[in-house]
Chain A
Amino acid sequence: MTDTTLAARPPDELIIPKKSLWDRVRKTAPYAYVSPFFVIFSIFGAFPILYTFWIAMHDWNPIGEKEFTGLENFSNLITDPRFWNATKNTFSIWFISTIPQLILALLLATLLNRQLLKMKTGFRMIVLSPQVTSVLAVGIIFTQLYGRDYGLINTFVVEPITGDRIDYGVGTWSSHIAVSTMVMWRWTGYNSLIYLSAMQAIPRSLYECASIDGASPFRQFVHVTIPQLRSTIIFTVIVSTIGGMQIFAEPLVFSGIGGAQGGNRRQFQTLTMFLYEQGFERFKFGYASAIAWALFLLIVTFAMLNYLVTRRISQDAS
């Protein structure tokens, strides 16, 4: 069919549109090549962020009415003590889990990097195994370990030492520690492998040179390893921050039947749990979206702050 139409035209007309079509293809092709990222990011990144903001400006029940309320959700949020409580809990759990986690990961990586270590690959795999364990399994097992009546930690550690049992879920600090250990268990190995790969890229001659100058292994660690790992440390701190601000599954499982409230006094309710509670348990989607936006801004600000602080610290170390 096309053939007949084409044949009907005089030859010069045939050539010109063909050329301009090719030109148009040539001009647009580069955009097509780079477009997949932008298309996918717009659909799954930019659109949800913006649409969430739109939802946040409504009193929005998915099965009921929605009403435009402007910034009311936001003004309610900053006066809501539950929001500040969740923010405080989130930071507390992030702090207790991330700082020891990264220090531990650094030490673990140093051990794994030892020349004398046997079965290197085996150890590296073991270190990564918590990563591939289901978060739910981790949460359930740790919750049992921390159990008040039959928990192994109470039976074999706490009671023999203090003569008393701790109800981890009840206290603020005890619950934060319990949740933090789950996070640490899961992420320490992952971070240590990142450090390990960076350590292996440090030239051996730097250490030899330092040892010729009389630097002890500890001082080699401080003066060579840490400064050389600077950018890697910044990377892990930022990634852990972004992850830590969104901590959800571990405290949710730990809280058991209480669900997203995070303990009867909300003593370990994190921001994401608060968001989930408002959105999917109370169906206040507008308010939940406002929480999501607050969390978004918090993560951006905090990650940037972390970047500046970490950069300063590692510069001082050198």
Chain B
Amino acid sequence: MTAAVEISDVTKRFGDVVAVDNIDLTIADGEFFAMLGPSGCGKTTTLRMIAGLDFPTEGSLKIFGDEVGTLPPNKRPVNTVFQNYALFPHMSVLDNVSFGLRMQKVDKATAAARAKESIELVQLGGYEKRRPNQLSGGQQQRVALARALVNEPKVLLLDEPLGALDLKLRQEMQGELKSLQRDLGVSFVFVTHDQEEALTMSDRIAVMNEGKLLQVGSPEEIYERPANRFVADFIGQTNLIEGTVADETTIVLTNGARVAAPSDHAAGTAVALSLRPERATLTPAGAVEAADGRTSVDGVIAGVTYLGNALVYDVALDWMTIEVREENRPAGDRPSPGDRVAVSWTTSDASVVV
């Protein structure tokens, strides 16, 4: 099967600034694909190159097998939903949605009928005559979606589409976008800086930073086996425990402790052990036995943060402080600041990153 989007060795420079640095990326047909990274990481530039709003400085960009290098946006089987919706304020919802069809010289009646269908699809039936400024943010978002979908793109590009919505609406739209994508069966390429959004919605995620593609994988792969420190730290919370590779099954931590952690890095490489706060277990000091196959370090509770459903403990080790997250439990049953504890984990709970 041909990939929906195939990016090979693409670099984009604006003057001296390298916005996208030699990336390779393949997006499958019918996939919900997220591009995740902090502001300025190159994710939006990548999206704009797929859309045809920017052109690669170097490299090849194929959509369904066709090289689209410098093809204008309207000649590509893609459409874009902009972050600020970019609705025409002087046009009604119906005119906004049918604009693309009218530009393609589709006759008026057909254009209106297809636009209506598209408006129904995003559940805005009855709002056809309204102007964008008479709609709420969420409704404007839906109009933007309808306007993109009416042109029947094979790939829909969404640039931080939910960024301007409040939390509740955002969560609602996340679910709707996901089910819409499933029903339509077209690829959605979704740019976001919100890691939670990327994790909940996507089939696969590409993590970018400073123009480079750091890792591509399913949400679980990205979260459980981050490729490097940046990915580990950017996606969710993590403790990065510094150390050096001793051999393929062991690393030596800064305090000299040898812990079991398989990695394929050469001996002597400086690495960090990425341990998610919720994967670490707290037990009273001395209660863990090495025979369990668990790695354990001793520390003292330095602080407790109450999150309602969970508790986050700051545990001071000899050389650093790490966070441990546990489900809430009755007040009398919790360790309190000053208590000596052991933090333990199994080898599969932590991953070695460079």
Q: State the A residues within 8 Å of B (CB).
A: 203, 205-206, 208-215, 219, 223-224, 227-228, 230, 318
The number of residues on chain B lying at the interface, defined by a beta carbon within 8 Å of a beta carbon of chain A, is 22
| 13 contacting pairs across A/B (C-beta < 8 A) | A205-B86, A206-B86, A208-B80, A208-B82, A208-B86, A209-B86, A209-B147, A210-B103, A212-B74, A212-B79, A213-B99, A219-B103, A224-B88
Residues of B within 8 A of A206 (CB): 86, 88
Q: Is the CB of B103 within 8 A of A213?
A: yes
Q: State the B residues within 8 Å of A (CB).
A: 51-53, 72-74, 79-80, 82-84, 86, 88-91, 99-100, 103-104, 147, 151
Q: Is the CB of A227 within 8 A of B90?
A: yes
Number of A-B contacts defined by CB within 8 Å: 60
Complex Cα gap A224–B80 (Å): 18
- In the assembled complex, the CB of A73 is this many whole angstroms from the nearest CB of chain B, namely 48
Residue ID in chain A nearest B153 by CB atoms: A212
Residue ID in chain A nearest B52 by CB atoms: A212
Q: Is the CB of A223 within 8 A of B74?
A: no
Q: Is the CB of B99 within 8 A of A223?
A: yes
- In the assembled complex, the CB of A221 is this many whole angstroms from the nearest CB of chain B, namely 13
- In the assembled complex, the CB of A69 is this many whole angstroms from the nearest CB of chain B, namely 53
Residue B88 contacts which of A211, A212, A227, A230 (CB distance < 8 angstroms)?
Answer: A227
Complex Cα gap A181–B89 (Å): 37
Q: Is the CB of A318 within 8 A of B91?
A: yes
Residue ID in chain A nearest B89 by CB atoms: A228
Q: Is the CB of B86 within 8 A of A211?
A: no
Q: Is the CB of B104 within 8 A of A205?
A: no
Residues of A within 8 A of B79 (CB): 212
| In the complex with contacts A206-B86, A208-B53, A228-B90, A214-B104 CB distance below 8 A | yes
Residue ID in chain B nearest A206 by CB atoms: B86
- In the assembled complex, the CB of B253 is this many whole angstroms from the nearest CB of chain A, namely 50
Q: Is the CB of A214 within 8 A of B90?
A: no
Complex Cα gap A215–B73 (Å): 10
Mostly, the A contact residues are helix
Report which residue of A209, A224, A227, A230 has the largest number of chain B beta carbons within 10 angstroms of its beta carbon: A209
Q: Is the CB of A203 within 8 A of B90?
A: no
Q: Is the CB of B90 within 8 A of A230?
A: yes
Residues of A within 8 A of B74 (CB): 211-215
Complex Cα gap A209–B99 (Å): 10
Q: Is the CB of A209 within 8 A of B80?
A: yes
- In the assembled complex, the CB of A49 is this many whole angstroms from the nearest CB of chain B, namely 38
Q: Is the CB of A205 within 8 A of B84?
A: yes
Complex Cα gap A10–B96 (Å): 79
Q: Is the CB of A212 within 8 A of B99?
A: no
Residues of B within 8 A of A212 (CB): 51-53, 73-74, 79-80, 100
Q: 8 tightest A-B contacts by CB?
A: A214-B74, A213-B100, A205-B86, A318-B90, A227-B90, A209-B86, A212-B73, A214-B103
- In the assembled complex, the CB of A213 is this many whole angstroms from the nearest CB of chain B, namely 3
- In the assembled complex, the CB of B258 is this many whole angstroms from the nearest CB of chain A, namely 56
Complex Cα gap A230–B51 (Å): 30
Besides the known contacts A208-B82, A210-B88, A215-B103, 5 further A-B residue pairs in the complex with CB atoms under 8 A apart: A205-B84, A209-B147, A213-B100, A227-B90, A228-B90
Complex Cα gap A122–B68 (Å): 38
| In the complex with contacts A203-B84, A223-B99, A211-B90 CB distance below 8 A | no
- In the assembled complex, the CB of B289 is this many whole angstroms from the nearest CB of chain A, namely 61
Residue ID in chain A nearest B95 by CB atoms: A318
Residues of B within 8 A of A210 (CB): 88, 99, 103
Report which residue of A206, A212, A228, A318 has the largest number of chain B beta carbons within 10 angstroms of its beta carbon: A212
Q: Is the CB of A214 within 8 A of B100?
A: yes
- In the assembled complex, the CB of B238 is this many whole angstroms from the nearest CB of chain A, namely 36
Complex Cα gap A205–B52 (Å): 13
Complex Cα gap A216–B83 (Å): 23
Complex Cα gap A190–B169 (Å): 46
Residues of B within 8 A of A219 (CB): 103
Complex Cα gap A230–B88 (Å): 13
Residue ID in chain B nearest A205 by CB atoms: B86
Complex Cα gap A50–B293 (Å): 101
Complex Cα gap A201–B90 (Å): 15
Residues of A within 8 A of B151 (CB): 213
Complex Cα gap A281–B120 (Å): 74
Complex Cα gap A213–B146 (Å): 13
Q: Is the CB of A223 within 8 A of B88?
A: yes
Q: Is the CB of B82 within 8 A of A209?
A: yes
Residues of A within 8 A of B147 (CB): 209, 213
- In the assembled complex, the CB of B44 is this many whole angstroms from the nearest CB of chain A, namely 12
Residues of A within 8 A of B83 (CB): 205
Complex Cα gap A126–B88 (Å): 33
Residues of A within 8 A of B80 (CB): 208-209, 212
Residues of A within 8 A of B72 (CB): 211
Residues of B within 8 A of A215 (CB): 74, 99, 103
